[in-house]
Structure 1
Amino acid sequence: MHSDSDDPMLADVLRALEAAPALGNRDAYLAFVRGHGEAALWKGLAPEHLTASTFVFSPDGAQVLLCFHRKGGFWVQVGGHLEREDATLADAALREAREESGLEDLALATPSITDLDRHELAGAFKCRAHWDIGFTAVAEPSARIVVSEESRDVRWFPIDSLPGGLAPGCARRIEAARQVLR
């Protein structure tokens, strides 16, 4: 177990949040991470913690990749918990995107955070809330997709024809994350 002072992920998260564009709730995120330290990072240390996600778009921004989350029962961007093997927050987001989609060739559109969304959890979730930090990436829609055990389905959708059953706020988050492609 790392102490807060020598946890490289904690330092990276704080640096990434401080460098992030002035997203609406960035200050709340900084306060949460500073106040909880390592417990804010790792699943199982507290009922609320960070997650890292990736909004994956086609190179032209006309399509978005979504997964149908098995526990949540909704369509959402790919993402999940940070792991101690992740070197950085962005690495965690890309690892999760690769694990949940099977896409190998993913590139971040920007190294900056593009989305912050804290959401309460219920039902099959053991955590009380996720403080999700989102990045934007690009991949070719023709690339092979693999559905992970955490999802029921993974597929590309036209931006102007998103599926019913989206996670709350997901359409707004997709549009905001897509802005970096312009």
Structure 2
Amino acid sequence: MTLLNTGLHTDATSALESWAPTDPDQEQLRRDYLDHLTKHQDGLFKSCLPAHITASAAVVDPAAGRVLLTLHPKVGLWLQMGGHCEPGDATLGAAALREATEESGIAGLTLLSADGADGGRPVPVKLDRHQVRCTGKDRPENTHLDVQYVALAPAGSKELISEESLDLRWFDFDALPELTDDSVRRLVGLARELVATV
């Protein structure tokens, strides 16, 4: 049984309420996520089935024009860093930053904020709803309602692979690996646009 973190629930609701996507599909997802949170006080945790909110971040090195991706052992694709929220996470952005730091091995990551810089309140850049089997290979699929951020890496950062990854590698924005999906490509495209103004 997950101990509920009402502060995290409040923060996630606030973050989604204040985010204003211009894309109609993203706006519908935003409304769906808020509806999920209204209906489920435990909606941010893996124990909430068949769906729960997750947090992830595209780790980018703006100075070098590159993104760090992980080869996910269960999915077999190159993806951004991310995963499940934990009871100790103070905010949704903190969950994304924790996951990005753990999976990249890079200290000093900062999330992009509303004004396009680091240091302000982190804001989502994209939402993605997808099916996964995160409760076990013999269990039914469930739905991840992923809230995606951009994490800025210090220039020249060196990655350190964790046991959660088959491989960890930097890719130029223009040279993403074939074994990735459209969602990651869109996220990296958004990250590239946003960090161009930093």
Report how far residue 32 of structure 1 moved: 1.5
Q: Is the 8 A contact 1:66 1:157 kept in 2?
A: yes
- Give the whole-Å Cα distance in 2 for the aligned partners of 1:74 and 1:27: 28
Q: How many residues align?
A: 179
- Give the whole-Å Cα distance in 2 for the aligned partners of 1:58 and 1:144: 10
Report how far residue 122 of structure 1 moved: 4.5
- For residues 16-35 of structure 1, the aligned pairs below 5 Å read 16-22=15-21, 24=26, 25-35=29-39
Distance 1:62 1:91, change over 3 A: same
Query: 2:188 pairs with 159, 166, 174, which one?
Result: 174
The sequence identity of aligned pairs, in percent, is 38
Give CA deviations for 1:144-181 in whole Å, capped at 9, x if unaligned.
Answer: 21111111111110010000110342111221233322
Letter aligned with residue 30 of structure 1: L
Question: Is the aligned partner of 1:44 residue 2:43?
Answer: no
Helix, strand or coil at the partner of 1:65: strand
Report how far residue 60 of structure 1 moved: 3.3
Greater alpha carbon shift after TM alignment, 156-165 vs 59-68: 59-68
Partner of 1:147: 161
Letter aligned with residue 154 of structure 1: L
- Give the whole-Å Cα distance in 1 for the aligned partners of 2:14 and 2:192: 23
Report how far residue 2 of structure 1 moved: 5.0
Q: Is the 8 A contact 1:52 1:82 kept in 2?
A: yes
Task: Give the TM-score normalised by the residue count of structure 1.
Answer: 0.89
Helix, strand or coil at the partner of 2:160: coil
Give the root-mean-square deviation of aligned CA atoms. 2.0
Question: Which consecutive residues of structure 1, in runs of 5 or more, have no partner in the other structure?
Answer: none
Give CA deviations for 1:19-62 in whole Å, capped at 9, x if unaligned.
Answer: 11225121111112112222x11112322111100111112371
Q: Is the 8 A contact 1:78 1:101 kept in 2?
A: yes
